């Protein structure tokens, strides 16, 4: 059966998925970085996982690489993404492809949070290598 996780507005004008359990984003991410699994095994997805990440103003994701690819859509704020050793500006609506084993990191600007949807393959265990 289908599942709907609805966005909920926050007082600062941003939004989140308040009904989905948050997980602290570990592995060297900035304090306050949150990961939510929107669609995964609990919802019946067998081949992929859709996650929503929130990076607080001035914060960053982990500096890492994985054996799996990522498809990312920026949905709130802006910032930068690191591919290898080069930083690139990103903003709402941008689609980002991260190849398997590519070193990457996301960074929010000092004045706003960064929110993005991330789609990855569904595996029993996905291992990250934090750099």
Catalytic residue set: 118
Q: How many CB atoms lie within 10 A of CB 90?
A: 20
- Residue 34 contacts residue 10 (beta carbons within 8 Å): no
CA distance 91 to 80: 8
Q: What angle do CA 70, 72, 78 make, to 5 degrees?
A: 140
């Amino acid at each position: 059966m289908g599942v709907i996780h609805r966005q909920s507005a926050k007082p600062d004008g941003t939004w989140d998925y308040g009904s989905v359990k948050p997980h602290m984003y570990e592995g060297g991410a900035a304090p306050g970085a949150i990961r939510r699994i929107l669609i995964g095994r609990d919802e019946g997805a067998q081949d992929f996982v859709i996650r929503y990440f929130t990076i607080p103003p001035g914060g960053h994701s982990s500096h890492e690489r994985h054996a799996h690819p990522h498809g990312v859509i920026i949905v709130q704020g802006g910032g930068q993404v690191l591919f290898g050793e080069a930083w690139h500006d990103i903003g709402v609506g941008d689609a980002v492809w991260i190849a398997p084993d590519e070193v990457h990191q996301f960074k929010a600007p000092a004045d706003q949070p960064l929110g993005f949807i991330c789609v990855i393959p569904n595996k029993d265990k996905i291992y990250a290598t934090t750099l």
